Amino acid sequence: MKNRNIIFIALIIVVFSAFIISIEYNNTNVETVASNWNYQQLTLFNHSLNNFIFTYSGDERDDNGNFSKMINNINSNYPNIQFNINGGDLRSDSSQINSFKRDYLTPGSVAIFNKPVMFVIGNHEIINNENESIYQNTFGSPSYYNFTENNTYFIIIDNANSESLNNTQMNWLKEQLAISQEYKYRFVFMHVPLYVPNGETEHGMENTGDGGADALKSLFDSYNITMIFASHIHNYYNGTWGKTPYIISGGAGAPPEDNHQPNHHYIVINVTSGSVSYTTIKY
C-alpha cells in the first residue's frame, strides 16, 4: 500500500509539472499549445539558455522568390540558431494564409526553416478578415503571446489594425511588462511601428488614446525595454522612441516602397549573459 501511495503521488507531481510547463508559453488557453502553429513551435526549442542566437525578419508578401532565398540563407549560414521570429505580412491578404503555410511551413515546401519560427500578425493578415479568425485558426489565439529564454522575456503584440491596443490586450501587456522585470533582457515585437521615420509615407500607430503609440512609448520607457522590433515598412531603420531603442526590419522579400532601392535583409540577434548584439544580413 505504501508503494502504491508513493507511485500515486509521483504521478500527480508529473501531471502538475507538465501543466505548469504548458501554460508558461501562453497564459490564456493551454489547449492552443497542441492545436496552433506558434504554440507548437514554442515546444521545439530549449528555453533555459543564457547564450543563444535568433533571427528577426518581416514583410514577405509578393516576394517574387526572395523569401525562399532568405530562408535558405539563414539555414545555410546560421544552422545553430535557436529560432526565428517573423514580423508579419505573409501574403497580400488573409485568404492566402493557408497557401503560405503550404508553401513555407510544411515538409516538401518551396523553402522551409530548419529551426522553429513564430509569427507576429501583420495588417495584411486581417485584410478581408478583420476579426482575425483565419490567422488565429492557423497560428494561434489570441494572436498576442509571450515566452521566455532563461534570461530573456519575449512579448509579441497584435497591433495589426494600426490603431491602438484594446483594453484586454493593454491589461495583458502591463502584466507581461511587470513580470519581465525579473529578466535581464526584454524584447517587444509588433508589426506596425509606433511611429515612422522621417521621409516615410507608411503610417504608424495612432498617437492618442490609452492603447496608442504615445501610451505605449511611455509604458516601454518605464519598463526599460531592451529592444522593440517592428516591420511594416519595406526597409531598415533603427533609432529610439523616447528612451527605448527600436529596429524596423521589413526586408523579408516584399517589393520596395516609396522609391526605395531593394533592401532585402534579416536581423541576427546574439544574446549572451553580458550583452546583446544586432547584425543586419543582406541576401
Give me the torsion for CA of 56, 61, 65, 68, rounded to 10°: 30
Confidence check: pLDDT of 50 > 90? yes
Give the pLDDT confidence score for residue 19 in this predicted structure: 37
Q: 519581465: which residue's cell?
A: 180
State the Cα–Cα distance between residues 156 and 143, nearest whole angstrom. Answer: 8
What is the rounded CA–CA span in Å between residue 213 and residue 47?
A: 31
Predicted TM-score (pTM) of this structure: 0.88
Whether the per-residue pLDDT at 26 is higher than 50: the answer is: no
Cα separation of 183 and 166, whole Å?
26
- The helix (H) or strand (E) run that includes residue 102 is helix 97-104
Residue 5 has pLDDT above 70, yes or no: no
- Domains in the chain, start-ordered, CATH in brackets? 29-282 (3.60.21.10)
Q: What share of the chain is helix, strand, coil (3-state, %, to 5)?
A: 30, 20, 50
N-terminal to C-terminal alpha carbon distance within the chain: 66
Model confidence at 166: pLDDT above 80 = yes
**How high is the pLDDT of residue 200?**
86
pLDDT of residue 2 exceeding 60, the answer is no
Long-range contacts of 241-245 (CB under 8 A, 24+ apart): 241/194, 241/195, 241/217, 242/217, 242/218, 244/217, 244/220
